[in-house]
Chain A
Amino acid sequence: MLEFLFKGLIRDKSRSVLPVIVVALGVSLSVFFVGYMKGMIGDVVDQNARFNTGHVKVMSRAYVQNISQKPLDLSLLDAEVLIKDLKHQYPEMNWVKRINFGGILDVPDENGQTKTQGIAGGIALDLSENSIDKERMKLGNNLIRGTLPKGAYQIILGEGLAKRMNVNIGDKITFFGSTMDGAMSFQNFTLAGTVSFGTSVLDDRTFIIDINDAEQVLDMVDAAQEILGFLPNDVYDESKIETIKNDFNTKMSVETDEFTPEILALKDQAGLRYMLDIANISTSLFSTLFIIAMSIVLWNTGLLGGLRRYTEFGIRIAMGESKKAIYKSLILESIIIGLIGAVIGTLLGLGLTYYLQEVGIDISDMMSQNSMIISNVIRAKVVPQQLWIGFIPGVVATLLGALLSGRGIFKRQTSQLFNELGV
């Protein structure tokens, strides 16, 4: 009987090819969508963690209140002790100091007169030889011109910024800004290299200097504006992060001083909680809608197919098959179709995701006006969830379609069915 059904399925294209295409299309869409969303979420998390938020960030309470202004004067004091303490309490984490500050970059000509000038944002991090943070920022990989700083008072510019300021490797650049206490400060730097991260806010408006130089220039030795914490291998894990955050903040809750350190998790910063929640909700919403839509389409293809096959059912009833047996065979057919469609769809979706994971789509033209830290290349991510997220709904929807359409046919009296057959 199974062989008989198989022959029918294979030979009657409208019974097999059309539903398989519907299922495969729906499943591949759903699988790809998940991969796309995961890629995007992963990218946002990764970029923000690296450049801005860390997995957790330690700041003073007062600083947290004004976090968007990144006020240097509200930096943590006694930073070395604090870092030692953090390393002791959470030894698996990697803790690094970062300073975000702003100022004017001035490029002098041979007479010492201003040639070009611009406002830019600075990031200071550990640029020493064995710095993990340097690796994390992938400075070496993203170097466009020159080298990374090897001595004191060397500077790296975003390639876009360097072009705009019309500077070359080895040129002098003067930084004008203010110290932690609000005093005027300036310092000459030498351009060591330029970098491009594929993120316009970083490439066009940012410069990078070593944390020790910054502490000198900004007069904040043994202070820390932000201390970023990263989980081992920089792998993001929301629940671990929440645990550390809650643990630390609870311990600190007895303190009343506004310079008491406080931890914010990645999600607590830069509107990421909202964005990640929306992304997760829309992923599940889409998957649910997809099951419903696909069921309706398959129900209808099932109904149409069923109508077309009335004669066949009538003949099979006359030959001595019961309605129940025919109903069962319809369901069996739908499972076969569902499985084939779901396998094809999952492979297609995974293939597409993999392509986007490895190659990506460049959207830098669209992003040039954007100030968010979002990668200029859309990348999807292959995740295990994709193995079932389309597969199971695909099979279920096909089955549901067959159950619904088959019911319509077989709730009827045999005689009535038989009359309609025109047998």
Chain B
Amino acid sequence: MSTNNLIELHQVTKRFPVGDGEFTALSDINLSFSKGEFAGLIGPSGSGKTTLLNLIGALDDSTEGEIKINGKNIANNSDEASALLRNEHIGFIFQSYNLLPVYTIYENVEFPLILQKIPKEDRKIMVLQALEWVGLKDIANKKPSQISGGQAQRVAIARSIVKKPEIILADEPTANLDSENAYKIMDILKNLNEELGITFLFSSHDSKVIKYLKRVISLEDGKIINDEVK
């Protein structure tokens, strides 16, 4: 494995306790991603896509194996260290947009910056820029309940990129969108990948997403069955 990889997984296995026994969701995964990739995990439901994204995003711990982000093993990280890693390096986009309903669009996008303790004036510049990237600068003061699904997912994108993370993990980001909006989203993400050099890792069933991917990794029953660069 080369050491200048952004993400490295080495013999990663994940088992969940189920009843008295265990269920192996991922077994012996070896993978690496370099900076600027636009890659996706595909595979049937239950194949382990979300589980793998959660491990890389430090939302969950692997049972065995090593996961390195920027060369640092995150396997034994504390809750605080994992939180810091996510805060500084990783952005998330979810299937259900998961905006905080009581806050405005502006405040939703601002939140990751508040966690980073960035001063208010700097935050303003960054939030407005992020909203401009996704073309939503004019709805900054609306509430999530007042906008459409496509707009909400664009807000979620703005929120994930506002702190300019190295990695964005997108778990089925288009699953709730019609095709017009799905394409719009993928165009935005592709642009961000090309212009800002952010590394993207998707999970998807959606052929519209797969069309955009530059690398497709197929999972089945927790194992990698194919890994091809287009």
Contacts and interface: CB of A to CB of B under 8 A. Distances in A.
B103 interface: yes
Contacts of A415: 54, 59-61
Contact of B98 (A1, A4, A311, A324): A311
A316 B100 CA distance: 9
B107 A7 contact: yes
A321 B87 CA distance: 7
Nearest to B111: A319
B102 A4 contact: no
A7 B92 CA distance: 24
A418 B114 CA distance: 22
Q: Interface centre among A312, A413, A414, by most B CB within 10 Å?
A: A414
A1 B46 CA distance: 38
A194 to B, nearest CB: 68
Greatest chain B CB density within 10 A among A7, A316, A320, A324 is at A320
Interface stretch (B65-73, B77-85, B185-193): B77-85
Contacts of A423: 94, 96, 98
B115 interface: yes
Contacts of B103: 4, 7-8, 11
B40 interface: no
Contacts of A4: 103, 107, 111, 114
Interface string A343-380: 00000000000000000000000000000000000000
B88 interface: yes
A318 interface: yes
A322 B86 CA distance: 10
B57 interface: yes
Contact of B60 (A311, A323, A325, A414): A414
Interface in A1-46: 1, 4, 7-8, 11-12
Q: Looking at chain B, what size class is its interface with the partner chain?
A: 20 to 34
B29 to A, nearest CB: 16
Contacts of A320: 83-88, 90, 112, 115-116
Interface of B is mostly: helix
A271 interface: no
B86 A319 contact: yes
Q: Is the interface of A mostly helix, strand, loop or mixed?
A: helix
Contacts, number: 76
A315 interface: yes
A418 B55 CA distance: 12
B46 to A, nearest CB: 13
B130 to A, nearest CB: 14
Contacts of A323: 79, 83
A324 B107 contact: no
A321 B58 CA distance: 12
Contacts of B114: 1, 4
A221 interface: no
A146 to B, nearest CB: 71
A414 B80 CA distance: 12
Contacts of B60: 413-415, 418
A110 to B, nearest CB: 88
Given A319-B86, A319-B112, A319-B115, A324 B79 contact: yes
Nearest to B78: A322
A422 B97 CA distance: 11
A77 interface: no
Interface of B: 54, 57, 59-61, 79-80, 82-88, 90, 92, 94, 96, 98, 100, 102-103, 107, 111-112, 114-116, 159
24 contacts: A4-B103, A4-B107, A8-B102, A8-B103, A11-B103, A12-B102, A311-B98, A315-B100, A316-B111, A317-B83, A319-B86, A319-B111, A320-B83, A320-B85, A320-B115, A322-B79, A322-B82, A414-B59, A414-B79, A415-B60, A418-B54, A418-B59, A418-B60, A423-B98
Given A320-B84, A423-B98, 7 more contacts: A4-B111, A7-B103, A318-B98, A319-B111, A320-B112, A414-B59, A414-B82
Nearest first, the 4 closest Cβ-Cβ pairs linking A and B are A320-B87, A415-B60, A322-B83, A320-B86
